[in-house]
Amino acid sequence: MATPKLFHFFLVILSLLVSAAAKKTSLEPHQVEEDTTISRFRQYLRFNTAHPNPNYAAPVSFLTSVALSIGLQVKTFEFVPGKPVLLLTWKGSNPSLPSVLFNSHLDSVPAEEDKWSHPPFSAFHSPEDGKIYARGAQDDKCIGIQYLEAIRNLKASGFKPLRTVHVSYVPDEEIGGFDGSAEFVKSKEFEALNLGLVLDEGQASPTDEFRVFYADRSPWHLIIRAIGAPGHGSRLYDNTAMENLMQSVEIITKFRETQFDVAKAGHAALSEVVSVNAVYLKSGIPSPTGFVMNMQPSEAEAGFDVRLPPTVDPNLMREKISKEWAPASRNMTYEIIEKGPLRDYKGRPLMTATDDSNPWWSVFEQAIIAAGGKLKKPEILASTTDTRFMRQMGIPAFGFSPMTNTPILLHDHDEFLKDTVFLRGIKVYEFVISSLSSFEEASQQKL
């Protein structure tokens, strides 16, 4: 016999299914009319929050107005001046239980307007195919509005959460999040949230299956420098700066090829191997017409973008760099700039379990199924999000954006999201928010 708690959980799912069936409408792209929901999404997209000078004040004011209109509590913090964190709260009937946080970021990357079919901050809505073109349409202003629209609908249906639900909007994610989420998670305000689970951004899925991410890769900026004797360009020297640096580049290139071969052979996903990409090479002696060609440079430098999956031991990577890529024996030095955490407060890899050891996982998975969706095999995200700062605190966190049958266009020209996909995502979040906030069994202990 089902327990009362389990019965309550299934009752919530059943009520949502009945509600969804009652409201079912055709969502063929050419049949979706502009409504207030899509209008609010487009209004949010029109705020130019692109770096290097994102406008944070206007979208925070807009989101605050929307939140107040549906009865949410609103707080704004500035842990770094001029970089607000907006926190919205829907109080649960049992606020002593760990709460659930739905996070998104306010900022976006720049857009080269001349490369776009429509101005990137116009939020053009195509009447032919329903595509909404805008920087941030996928990354990730869509979920920022979907959270609120889902809560609006749940409130209208009479649903009341057991756990408290928080929604946060943070700055500077696109440039590392160090003045945003990184400061937020260290604050007493964050600690007071008593979080049990965080959901943050994911990525679009080109198939009909939703993608979910349980970890990010961690970026290192690696700078390798070599020195050597200068001299006339006609002579041959041992251990010149350029010779030593090029030898390192060859070694690193072979390592990159080995990692790439593993992924190409299907033994691992691209996000599960270490990626290394050369981003600049600096050497030579400038002249008015270019560079001095008959003189050996005494210094040479190269920069690499290194991405480490959480399954890789960072100490072994440091040893490889020290002994193979930039050994002191070849007159080389190196600098590793770690762009974020690699381990949590207990020294564990930054990964969230997607099995029975994590009680939140099955609730999330069942919510997606109840919403009529399917999940792909959980993945490691090739890039990084603010979830790494949450996981660093020992809090389970999933990356998820409800976008199926959609090309991955984050940071690309003509970034768009179809209106039908956006509207379906709201219904998905209704199931996710109601299910997670109704869950009673998860322990307060951090996983």
Q: Is 50 exceeded by the pLDDT of residue 27?
A: no
The CA–CA distances, whole Å, from 38 to 130, 219, 302, 320 equal 11, 35, 47, 51
What does the pLDDT look like over 348-377, one tens digit per residue?
Answer: 999 999 999 999 999 999 999 999 999 999
Instruction: Give the start-to-end residue ranges of the domains of the chain.
Output: 37-216+349-438, 218-308+312-338
Specify the pLDDT at position 341. 92
- φ, ψ for residue 378, nearest 5 deg: -55, 145
Cα separation, 334 vs 6, whole angstroms: 56
Q: Is 50 exceeded by the pLDDT of residue 201?
A: yes
Cα separation, 264 vs 276, whole angstroms: 16
Q: Classify the phi-psi angles of 162: left when phi > 0, otherwise alpha if psi is within -120 to 50, otherwise beta.
A: alpha
Catalytic member of 140, 149, 172, 173: 173
- Give the residue numbers of the binding site for Zn(2+): 105, 139, 174, 201, 411
Q: Classify the phi-psi angles of 80: left when phi > 0, otherwise alpha if psi is within -120 to 50, otherwise beta.
A: beta
Assign 102 to helix, strand or coil: strand
What does the pLDDT look like over 121-155, one tens digit per residue?
Answer: 999 999 999 999 999 999 999 999 999 999 999 99
- Give the residue numbers of the binding site: 105, 139, 174, 201, 411
**Burial of 262: CB neighbours in 10 Å, binned 0-12, 13-18, 19+:** middle
For the chain, percent of residues with pLDDT exceeding 90: 85
Cα separation, 237 vs 260, whole angstroms: 34
Q: Just give the CATH number of 218-308+312-338.
A: 3.30.70.360
Strand ranges in 113-217 using DSSP code E only, listed in sequence order: 124-125, 131-133, 165-170, 195-200, 212-216
Q: Is 60 exceeded by the pLDDT of residue 320?
A: yes
Task: Tell me if domain 37-216+349-438 and domain 218-308+312-338 are identical in fold.
Answer: no
Catalytic member of 107, 200, 344, 379: 107
Q: Is 60 exceeded by the pLDDT of residue 398?
A: yes
Cα separation, 258 vs 435, whole angstroms: 43
Answer yes or no: CATH 3.40.630.10 is held by domain 37-216+349-438: yes
Please confirm, yes or no, whether 140 is among the known catalytic residues: no
Please confirm, yes or no, whether 386 is among the known catalytic residues: no
Nearest CA to 379 out of 263, 270, 219 is that of: 270
Q: Confidence band (pLDDT; 50, 70, 90) for 337? A: very high
For the chain, percent of residues with pLDDT exceeding 70: 91
